[in-house]
Amino acid sequence: MQETFARPRPVPRAAPSSYQVVVLMTVTALLISSQQYVVIPLFAPLGQRFGVTPTVAAWAGSAFSFAFAAGNLFFGPLSDRRGRLQVIVPGLWTLTGLTLLVSLSPSFAVLAALRVFQGFVAASFASAALTYLIETLPPQQRAGGIAAVSSSFLIAGVLGQVYASAVASALGWAAVFGLLVPVYVVLTLLLRRLPLTLPPAAGQSWTEVLARMGRLTRSWPMLLTLLIGLTLLLSFVAMYIGLSAHLAQAYGLSARELLWVRLAGLPGLLLSPFTGTLINRWGARVVITAGLVTAILGLLGEALLPSLAGVVIGSVVFVAGIGVTVPGVLARVSSLGSEARGAANAVYGAAVFLGASLGPVLAGVLAPHGFGALTLTLAGILAAAALLTQLRPEARTALRVS
């Protein structure tokens, strides 16, 4: 008798756990956001390689930041129409290719142009990743997931500089970008394995999607939240620029010693992923207010404490306060965005990175007046933001985005 064998059925691929999704998104956010900061230690090497001044070389960073802010306004609405991963995965493939081209740049003009495209495409992840977590995580895990990913955008400001400084000194500036290429390939392949989500605005025209974004920006609660968000990276970037100059001039710290000062702020940022628990318990408004007050106290410490240790401790407290505030603001933006979360996060990203672009301008304007003038000004800006959190316009104005 002929024996027959049934063809084995394929074993279905196990869906990743919520923890795995959050870890993958957090690592990807960290490595993509680092692109904004890796050029800071490269100003001198780029100047030597291409024969430009450090001031001109700094445009390799500014070009990325401005393009990143603009990219949020494009990719956020696109993710509402096409889906989150449908935007993230092609965007990361494109960023991988652009990063390779940056490492091969034959001139500074080409490098700066490629950095513009890098910044624009990098926004495809930032504008959709947080919304993807909101749509896929269980309700009790959403705040923690948002806190973990949003903290990586700040942690990148420290680790990106440390990575670039170490790699450039050992292998040269081009390796800073070249080594990221295979890492991006691996991350893209892993992201492709995540489950897709149904786009909330599928079938809607660009006109309809952009109209929803316009209604978001005309909402008084959203405008207040965006103003608060704008102050965060503005103060973060401006403080670190002023701090580096102050410590070098007043205490004679070397570039290597300044890196250790930056690393000192890392423990404060590591508190950020745990902010989700506080948001779940106390609400975003309380967390935002507490974070801003903490940051203000840190700035006052930097301005008033007369020793190196006091300045460093003040900077650590300030960074911890910013790290706590960012997840609270993001949670509020996502809540206000309702079904237009992609557009809401996009507008928020544009506001935050506009603030990051203004940070160096403010630091430069106040540099002749000393570090104390800068920190006290930033404390005043954050105090105004803290006052905005106490307004309750949503009691009078309903948010409508549909």
DSSP state of 224: H
Report how far residue 385's alpha carbon sits from residue 261's, in angstroms, rounded to the nearest whole number. 27
Distance of CA 150 to the CA centre of its chain: 6
pLDDT tens-place string over residues 226-240: 899 999 989 988 898
Q: Tokens 């306060």 appear where? A: 321
Model's pTM, two decimal places?
0.76
40-to-15, 74, 237, 291 alpha-carbon distances in Å: 39, 27, 11, 27
Superfamily of domain 18-391: MFS general substrate transporter like domains (1.20.1250.20)
Structure tokens at 265: 């702020």
**How many Cα atoms are found within 13 Å in the side-chain-facing hemisphere of 6?**
3
Mapped onto helix, strand or coil, the DSSP state of residue 227 is helix
For residues 240 and 299, is the Cβ–Cβ distance under 8 A?
no
For residues 349 and 123, is the Cβ–Cβ distance under 8 A?
yes
Q: Which residue has the higher pLDDT, 163 or 276?
A: 163
Rg over CA atoms, the chain: 22
Structure tokens at 279: 């948001």
Greatest mean pLDDT among 40-49, 183-192, 299-308 lies in 183-192
Cα of first residue to Cα of last residue in the chain, in angstroms, is: 68
Task: Identify residue 382 by its one-letter amino acid code.
Answer: L
pLDDT tens-place string over residues 337-354: 665 666 777 788 888 888
**How many Cα atoms are found within 13 Å in the side-chain-facing hemisphere of 161?**
24
Give 99's pLDDT tier (boundaries 50, 70, 90).
Answer: very high
Helix, strand, coil content of the chain in percent (nearest 5) = 85, 0, 15
Report how far residue 38's alpha carbon sits from residue 161's, in angstroms, rounded to the nearest whole number. 5
Greatest mean pLDDT among 53-67, 74-88, 284-298, 358-372 lies in 284-298
Give 25's pLDDT tier (boundaries 50, 70, 90).
Answer: very high
Report how far residue 389's alpha carbon sits from residue 137's, in angstroms, rounded to the nearest whole number. 27
